[in-house]
Chain A
Amino acid sequence: MLKKLLSLPIKHRLLILAGVAPLALLLAFAPFVFEVLEQPFYLRVASRILVFALAASSLNLVLGFGGMVSLGHAAFVGIGSYVVAILAWHASNEVPLSLGPFVIAGTTDGLVAWPVAILAAMLSACIIGAISLRTSGLYFIMITLAFAQMIYYYAVSLQQYGGDDGMRMRGRSILPGLDLSNRTTFYYFALASLALCLIFLFCLARSRFGLVISGIRQNETRMRALGIEPYPYQLTCFTISGAIAGFAGVLMVNLDSFVSPADLSMARSSELIAMILIGGVGSLWGPLLGAGFYILGQLGLGTLTTYWPLFFGPALIVIVLFARRGLVGLFVPGRS
């Protein structure tokens, strides 16, 4: 990446530095900046951007990188959130949770609840992917949406856990040596999680697996002609994405101390897609830029008018039409 950067003309190098350096500094020192400005609310906004960037990155892996347009990705995020919240609910109400023949105790321990949540999201992605990936194109989009809607209505029907109104979580998950209820700690934890995820995705993209996935998006017939059956690779990619989405859900419920069916609705899925489109489809930094733009834009317009979507929608259309590579395209020079 550095080699690629150095091979660029000096003008582009300066442009990238001018864009990236302040952003990196802001991300690294956000807690101090907002402390000095006495604006703790904005630290929460910054954390929210990071968590949404993580969720959007997971979608970007299948949609941007793998070319699988999933319209129900919020479901996997929501499953991650619900599992953590439900386990915490049973812990604080001291009611055991019975799952058919198994009866388990609730827990607020992150070391237990988080892996369970991530596994649940991963397993759902694996099952839904196994069925959806038998189709492609428009059918794939519709089937992922249908599954997500099923999970949405299932969440609505969970009366014990607040049904339509959603459920509160009394405190954040407990991790050894980390106090997540401290907002600065939480921010850095989210930042580290996102950084790790992006490093993982960066490596994945260049690996043997990544080349195959990208090849399938570019030309599926070519991959078959090389002796590569696309299905198992696509399913693995979808499952990995589900796991990352579940982790984003774990962080989201800890940030908000609240989860409701809205968190796994189709509206949330489309928000994630919008973030990717704004940031740059298939690019590593796209989801972060897109999440930042989306959440700050929503916040900014929201203070001006209740009818913010009326202005936000057209802005999105303009970006998609005129900056096809998204915000990333403004910093990184395009192909000639």
Chain B
Amino acid sequence: MVAALEIVHLHKMFGALKATDDLNLDVVEGELHAVIGPNGAGKTTLISQLSGQAAATSGEIRFFGENIARLSMPQRVRRGIVRSFQITSLCREFSALTNVALAVQARAGHSFRFLRNAQNDSRFTGPAMNALDQVGLAHRADVEAGHLAHGEQRQLELAIALAAEPKLLLLDEPMAGMGADESHRVVDLLRELKRRYTIVLVEHDMDAVFALADRISVLVYGHCIATGTPEEIRRDPAVRNAYLGEDAADAGSP
């Protein structure tokens, strides 16, 4: 088992607030590692530090052995670390297809090509269409992203991340704001994806988390209080005490 991601003594301060407090975590290649915790536990802050959107105050983030904590977001993306956003982040004037095709284009190298029409270049639209199909949005490919329903925008967000062909996929609440049908579809999709990609998943839907995760880490006040298989986490007294409570732990059981 190779550690795809090792987080070592990671700290993130916002003034006097410790958003990430001496966090140690490792993610094994090929696993789906869920990060759960109460609101304000620093889950999104962690994703931001992993993706390079926010700089860590101190500590190391090793990606297949290389310390990437000081690299910019584009540099990390080129190494295969791709995030999706909790709050949808799209190019609203572009069609759904163009949004995804841009991810394929970005992966294909630099974009200093000035004359040829890229909007119907099948090298980009082909894989983009596949990604849209995977998330179940192919029939809405030509609709402007800004005109999609909220749940559809969430699906598009996921399609963009997939099209970037990540080695490590950072998903920040991919199911937030989705209807039940869409959520089921995403759970099915993630089950399909989990052998192909290494995934860090932040999610509030405990049913989904316990159904999907190989391992779960529990964050409280920026600190990791437990890591283990869903079964271990469900039984962990510290976790029950801090976060899950008796009812939630029962809800997650089969």
Number of A-B contacts (CB under 8 A): 95
Find out whether the CB atom of B164 lies under 8 angstroms from the CB atom of A227: yes
Knowing A215-B94, A225-B89, A227-B107 touch, does A209 contact B74 (C-beta < 8 A)?
no
Knowing A219-B91, A335-B144 touch, does A225 contact B114 (C-beta < 8 A)?
no
Find out whether the CB atom of B89 lies under 8 angstroms from the CB atom of A222: yes
Interface centre among A203, A208, A212 (most CB of B within 10 A): A208
Find out whether the CB atom of A222 lies under 8 angstroms from the CB atom of B111: no
Within the complex, the shortest CB–CB distance from B147 to chain A, in Å, comes to: 8
Interface locus among A26-34, A78-86, A228-236? A228-236
In chain A, positions 181-217 with a C-beta closer than 8 Å to chain B are 203-204, 206-212, 214-215
Knowing A209-B111, A209-B112, A229-B72 touch, does A218 contact B94 (C-beta < 8 A)?
yes
Q: Is B221 an interface residue (CB 8 A)?
A: no
Within the complex, the shortest CB–CB distance from B161 to chain A, in Å, comes to: 9
In chain B, positions 161-201 with a C-beta closer than 8 Å to chain A are 164
Find out whether the CB atom of B114 lies under 8 angstroms from the CB atom of A207: yes
Find out whether the CB atom of A225 lies under 8 angstroms from the CB atom of B73: yes
Complex-state Cα separation, A219 to B93, whole angstroms: 10
A226 contacts which chain B residues (CB < 8 A)?
Answer: 77, 102-103, 106, 160, 164
Complex-state Cα separation, A221 to B160, whole angstroms: 14
A170 contacts which chain B residues (CB < 8 A)?
Answer: none
Within the complex, the shortest CB–CB distance from A334 to chain B, in Å, comes to: 12
Find out whether the CB atom of B102 lies under 8 angstroms from the CB atom of A227: no
In chain B, positions 97-120 with a C-beta closer than 8 Å to chain A are 98, 101-103, 105-107, 111-119
Contact among B74, B92, B117 for A218, CB-based, below 8 A:
B92
Q: Is B58 an interface residue (CB 8 A)?
A: no
Find out whether the CB atom of A206 lies under 8 angstroms from the CB atom of B72: no
Q: Is B43 an interface residue (CB 8 A)?
A: no
Q: How many residues of B contact A (CB 8 A)?
A: 36
Find out whether the CB atom of A204 lies under 8 angstroms from the CB atom of B102: no
Contact with A along B27-67 (1 / 0, CB 8 A): 00000000000000000000000010100000000000000
Smallest Cβ-Cβ distance to B81: which chain A residue: A227
Smallest Cβ-Cβ distance to B92: which chain A residue: A218
Q: Is B83 an interface residue (CB 8 A)?
A: yes
Find out whether the CB atom of B98 lies under 8 angstroms from the CB atom of A211: yes
Contact among A203, A215, A221 for B102, CB-based, below 8 A:
A215
Find out whether the CB atom of A206 lies under 8 angstroms from the CB atom of B74: no
A219 contacts which chain B residues (CB < 8 A)?
Answer: 89-92
Find out whether the CB atom of B112 lies under 8 angstroms from the CB atom of A236: yes
A214 contacts which chain B residues (CB < 8 A)?
Answer: 91, 93-94
Within the complex, the shortest CB–CB distance from B126 to chain A, in Å, comes to: 15
Find out whether the CB atom of B83 lies under 8 angstroms from the CB atom of A227: no
Contact among B102, B103, B106, B113 for A207, CB-based, below 8 A:
B113
Smallest Cβ-Cβ distance to B161: which chain A residue: A225
Interface size class of A (residues with CB under 8 A): 20 to 34
Find out whether the CB atom of B116 lies under 8 angstroms from the CB atom of A212: no
Contact with A along B137-151 (1 / 0, CB 8 A): 000000010000000
Smallest Cβ-Cβ distance to B82: which chain A residue: A225
Contact with B along A230-247 (1 / 0, CB 8 A): 000100100000000000
Complex-state Cα separation, A335 to B89, whole angstroms: 21
B85 contacts which chain A residues (CB < 8 A)?
Answer: 225
Complex-state Cα separation, A41 to B121, whole angstroms: 48
Complex-state Cα separation, A206 to B91, whole angstroms: 15
Complex-state Cα separation, A207 to B105, whole angstroms: 11
Q: Is B78 an interface residue (CB 8 A)?
A: yes
Within the complex, the shortest CB–CB distance from B222 to chain A, in Å, comes to: 23
Complex-state Cα separation, A233 to B113, whole angstroms: 11
Complex-state Cα separation, A186 to B53, whole angstroms: 53
Find out whether the CB atom of B77 lies under 8 angstroms from the CB atom of A206: no
A212 contacts which chain B residues (CB < 8 A)?
Answer: 102, 105-106, 111
Complex-state Cα separation, A221 to B52, whole angstroms: 11
Find out whether the CB atom of B117 lies under 8 angstroms from the CB atom of A206: yes
B82 contacts which chain A residues (CB < 8 A)?
Answer: 225
Find out whether the CB atom of A206 lies under 8 angstroms from the CB atom of B118: yes
Smallest Cβ-Cβ distance to A222: which chain B residue: B89
Find out whether the CB atom of A203 lies under 8 angstroms from the CB atom of B111: no
Find out whether the CB atom of A207 lies under 8 angstroms from the CB atom of B115: yes
Contact among A203, A229, A236 for B117, CB-based, below 8 A:
A203
Find out whether the CB atom of B114 lies under 8 angstroms from the CB atom of A228: no
B73 contacts which chain A residues (CB < 8 A)?
Answer: 224-225, 227
Q: Which 10 A-B pairs have the closest CB atoms?
A: A227-B77, A218-B91, A226-B106, A208-B111, A208-B113, A208-B118, A224-B73, A212-B111, A229-B74, A206-B117
Could you list which residues of chain B lie within 8 angstroms of chain A, going by C-beta atoms? Answer: 51, 53, 72-74, 77-78, 82-83, 85, 89-94, 98, 101-103, 105-107, 111-119, 121, 144, 160, 164
Known A-B contacts: A203-B115, A224-B74. Give 14 more (CB < 8 A). A207-B113, A208-B121, A209-B111, A211-B118, A214-B91, A215-B91, A218-B94, A221-B89, A222-B91, A224-B53, A225-B51, A226-B106, A227-B107, A228-B106
A-B residue pairs in contact (CB < 8 Å), sample of 7? A208-B112, A211-B111, A221-B53, A222-B89, A227-B77, A227-B107, A229-B74
